[in-house]
A and B are shown apart, each in its own frame.
Chain A
Amino acid sequence: MTTASTTARAKALTRYRLFWPAVVLAVLLLANLAFTSDFFAVHIKDGHLYGSTVDILHFGAPLILVSLGMTLVIATGGIDLSVGSTVAIAGALACLHISEAADPASPGTVFGAIGIALGTAVLLGVANGVLVARLGVQPIIATLILMVAGRGVAQLITDGQIITVTSEPYKLIGGGYWLAMPFAILLSGLVALLTALLTRSTALGLLLESVGGNPVASRLVGIRAMRLVGLVYVFSALCAAVAGLMVSSNVSAADGNNAGLWIELDAILAVVIGGTSLNGGRFSIGGTVLGALIIQTLSTTVYTIGIPPETTLVFKAFVVITVCLIQSPNFRAEVARRGAGRRSVDRPRPATTTNREVGA
């Protein structure tokens, strides 16, 4: 009896949505311990926290932000390829404003810069939203336009140069400390918390999942899908813009060419690893945060082990394809059939029908 109940409990645990991402993250972190014995050590220097784990959170903060926006977009069955360009544009605009201001260090200038960046992001998000929700263009194509043109616009803003700024208040966003913690960690943590609250404590998350799961049925029950979908793209652009501010503030410079390059792919990867289905209809904020941390830890590990950082791409390729195969109902059916042999096979349910959180 006890063994049976233990296995039942273990089964329940492995079925928990965040279990596998958490295991992967833990394994990755422990693997680091083998190479760096003081990996988990956290020191306090000058009242600031230092350590490898803090670094992972710190450098992963922009990715977490972008992935949060991407999660909601993917939940509605869409995709946003333009976030990388938005990151570059936001950083470029903010740095341009600060570098041209009379007093770069005044809070007014910095708030002005943030306002310009976020305002532009709203416009970009609305453009994507109109294309997808109003004109019915496939999301991947609609956002491709901004992905192509946006990088050019960012280079236009910076004139192809790298704009450097010296502004103490601006530096705080991505490189500063607050309450001994890097401010970027707190900021992205706050956004994650707000997103989770907004989607899970209100009906918003449910509505998003219903639009992603079955657009026709949601329209028939009276959900204003068009407005919701549009809103999701604005949110994604806003998250990307904050990430852009963070990236540019951390290095005190805006680089139109390289800021946020390939971040859209990393974000999609983080979302998928976190258990959000690419077909839309279900999402997990916690999973996305874990997914983003897994990717950041992977990059950090590759750096510490001394493998050329570019080869991370190979690891990422295997992660993407494994996760997608596991999510594919056909693949699981195939595995179950082969594994079970001639015994009775309980067919795995398709991923989209297991919306347990929605039912709760």
Chain B
Amino acid sequence: MNANALVTRVRGQIPLLVTSVLLVSMFTVGSAQYDGFFSGQVLLNLLIDNAFLLVVAVGMTFVVLTGGIDLSVGAVVALSTMVSAWLVERHGWPPLLVIPLVLLMGTAAGWVMGWVIHTFEIQPFIVTLAGMFLARGLCYTISIESISITDPSYTAMAQTRIPLGDLFVSPSVVIALLVVAAGFVVLHYTRLGRNVYAIGGSEHSALLMGLRVGRTRTTVYAISGFCSALGGVLLTFYMLSGYGLHAVGLELDAIAAVVIGGTLLTGGSGYLLGTVLGVLVLGLIQTVISFQGTLSSWWTRIVIGGLLFVFIVLQRLITVRRR
């Protein structure tokens, strides 16, 4: 490998490096500043509290890699919690039937959006915006109030602790990490994954190469829909309720995690592991703010906005130089 290629390679990793440094330094500063911050459980709690965001962000990474965007994820998460709670509590359906049904519903919703985007060449954000309206609206047609869940298998999932030495994680964390692993394998070791990167790099070239652009794009939105529905199931375990106002603004958090994780918003370049780091950074911001105690919750939004700004400008600088 010659020096030039090496420089190009390293340059592509800059956002990822910056995110890693940010994560480590935030944790170091937090540990120095606050008592009880430096512990493995604080790190694991990041995963426990953000398992659903992690799953949703994995789906979002697929979409953003193709150069698209999915604004419907938060609403699909809310709809999944609502449908789960409604079927389990009001109709007494067994969870083992409800959960696959919800996952199927999310996947189908994503597939339809992807199909509309590709077939009629409408911008992804407006189609998924309509999907967002529809899913949120459907939540309220089920019930305007929050439905709490008392089903024993759901409460068991919420309370189970998987011990890791002195520490513990929740089953949701295991599921989320499995999703990350599956996403990693699909993106880097399958034809679908290659197609995703190819379409994001240049849709036109991908088409000329004979890649199945339409099918890949539909699949990508279906994956995002599946991940949102699974995120919804995990959120149901976490919240033990279904509510139309759950996960408001989650789409923004997911996009922020993907961007902070170093995926280019124009598509074609990025890593799933970067997204994991992005989710951890977002979680760490919240943890620091809750440890600080005097800072109010809205600082989370301001800091996330600031980070988004820095990373987007960084992305621009990198892509401009590459040309």
Binding site for B on A (CB under 8 A): 79, 131, 135-138, 140-142, 144-153, 155-156, 159-160, 256, 265, 268, 272, 278-279, 308, 310-318, 320-321, 324-325, 327-331
Contacts and interface: CB of A to CB of B under 8 A. Distances in A.
Given A156-B302, A160-B296, A311-B141, A324 B312 contact: no
Chain B interface main SS type: helix
Contacts of A256: 298
Contact of A308 (B69, B126, B140, B297): B140
Interface in B248-280: 252, 255-256, 259, 265-266
Contacts of A137: 312-313, 316
A145 B120 contact: no
Chain A interface main SS type: helix
Given A152-B298, A153-B302, A310 B122 contact: no
A278 to B, nearest CB: 6
Interface string B122-137: 1101110111111011
B127 A314 contact: no
B144 A146 contact: no
Interface in B154-212: none
B306 to A, nearest CB: 6
A149 B122 contact: no
Given A135-B313, A310-B137, A145 B121 contact: no
| Interface size grouping (class) on chain B | 35 or more
Contacts of B100: none
A152 B139 CA distance: 26
A156 B298 contact: yes
Contacts of A329: 121
A138 B137 CA distance: 29
A316 B125 contact: no
A347 B136 CA distance: 37
Given A135-B316, A308-B140, A314-B134, 14 more contacts: A138-B266, A140-B125, A144-B308, A149-B304, A151-B298, A152-B305, A155-B301, A160-B298, A308-B141, A314-B138, A321-B127, A324-B130, A325-B122, A331-B120
Contacts of B93: none
Interface in B286-323: 296-302, 304-306, 308-309, 312-313, 316, 320
Contact of A155 (B123, B129, B266, B298): B298
Given A310-B244, A314-B141, A328-B120, A320 B301 contact: no
Given A137-B312, A137-B316, A328-B122, A149 B302 contact: yes
Q: Which 6 A-B pairs have the closest CB atoms?
A: A149-B305, A152-B301, A313-B137, A314-B137, A310-B140, A317-B134
Contacts of B132: 317
